Amino acid sequence: MKSGLSFIWMPACKSVLLVMAATVLLFSTGCWDRKEVNDLAIVTTAGLDLKNNGEIELTLEIVHPKEVGGDTQQSKSKSSSKSSGSTLIWSASGATAADAASELQVMLSRTVYWGQLEILVVGEALSRSQLREQLDYLVRDSNVRLRVRPFVCKGTARDFLASDPPLEKTKADFLGGESKRLFRRPITLNSLVQNLGNISKEAFLPYVDTTQEGGESVPYVKGYAAFSSYRMVGLFQGESYSGAKWILKQVKGDVETVKLERPSSPLISLGVLSSSTRIDPKFAGEIPRMDIVIEAEMSLVQNTTRFKTTDSKFIRNVEEAAVDKIRKKAEITIKQAQRMKADIFGFGEEIERHNPRKWKHIHDQWERMYPLVQANLQVKVRIRQTGMNSVPVGKS
């Protein structure tokens, strides 16, 4: 009896196992939606512009197929594409960014792939009017990484992407390298989305421009673009750009050149070794006050005086001159930000962190209060390094 049951049971078990194996194989085919590299138009940089007719122009920097071993694709419209070394530049327009992307896809024989997007460049006109609305398209795409680095450019993103970056093959390589070289903390799409329209800490982005060198347009980072209520409201350039970097803890490899009062106003150049900034809100009345402490360790990289760097009095004078210059730049920058009504330094955020109850009370009035906030700046500078020689060149 037992042998008969075994004889019947074995084929049944085999049938069940076969069905289970077939089911597992059916649901474990993970490559059913796989796309070959040769089927993709890989985007490294994207640009957004607002055209005069109100349309949104999307410009993409796409890896040249030859660079990845694929077949090349020639554009049927000379006005919509341009070759730039190892990349191709394509542009299309539409009512929205999504509409422009759809138009671009029609022009390309490969599927636009956003997974390698590194840089987003936004034209100045769009930054001042529809940045939030058009960013929505990119943020909703699951292939777009939130660590993408956004920039604002002077003029149009299309013209900027048509410029040739020195030393680098692509705009993504150039702007990514500049971001790492100039800023201690990267500004990402994620931080932009979080701060855009945030009353307690408004957004800011690096501002880039081009200059003519040898007949070619060469891009470079020129300053910061400040935002308020979802729109770009102004620029920090020159001294105010440097002052903003000090307050925002973005100083990296910068050089400060100071002038001594005696003798005959000689110049001393100091390299920044490290820096820190602390903002503490104080509540003595209706309008809060911000106590800002900036500390820096610096190295003396050039001495145009006849003084030895072993002279402690000389070093103290240089430190005092550096303190005075950094403080003045920071004060100018804060006043400029208050005129713009752009709290890019996060004064409101600091109030909320230190005293949530107070922030809840003044939150609705912060837009009115912010331009009236007094900033008390304290700067501390220490020269830690003086270089190889203590004696100036030409003095024995």
b/e code 292-314 from CB counts within 10 Å (16+ = b): bebebebebeebebebebeeeeb
User: Which amino acid, residue 94?
Assistant: G
Give 3-state DSSP helix, strand, coil % of the chain, rounded to 5: 35, 30, 35
Give Cα separations from 101 to 68, 146, 153 (angstroms).
Answer: 23, 19, 20
- CA dist., res. 224 & res. 154, Å (int): 11
pLDDT at residue 35, as a whole number: 62
pLDDT at residue 158, as a whole number: 94
Global pTM value: 0.82
Decide if 52 contacts 125 (C-beta within 8 A).
Answer: no
- CA dist., res. 339 & res. 345, Å (int): 14
238-385 domain in CATH 3.30.300.210? Answer: yes
- 267-282 and 289-303: which strand pairing? antiparallel
Distance of CA 354 to the CA centre of its chain: 27
pLDDT at residue 37, as a whole number: 73
pLDDT at residue 336, as a whole number: 96
pLDDT at residue 55, as a whole number: 96
For the segment 271-330, what is each residue's pLDDT rounded down to a tens digit?
999 999 999 999 888 899 999 999 999 999 999 888 888 889 999 999 999 999 999 999
Return per-residue pLDDT of the chain as tens, 396 residues: 445 545 555 666 667 667 676 666 656 555 545 567 778 989 999 999 999 999 999 999 998 776 544 444 433 333 455 555 578 899 999 999 999 999 999 999 899 999 999 999 999 999 999 999 999 999 999 899 989 999 999 999 999 988 776 667 778 888 888 888 888 888 899 999 988 878 888 999 999 988 866 667 778 889 999 999 889 999 999 999 999 999 999 998 899 999 987 666 689 999 999 999 999 999 888 899 999 999 999 999 999 888 888 889 999 999 999 999 999 999 999 999 999 999 999 999 999 999 999 999 999 999 999 999 999 999 999 999 988 877 777 665
Which ranges in the chain are annotated with CATH 3.30.300.210?
A: 238-385
- CA dist., res. 126 & res. 122, Å (int): 7
pLDDT at residue 72, as a whole number: 43
245 sits in which H/E element: helix 239-247
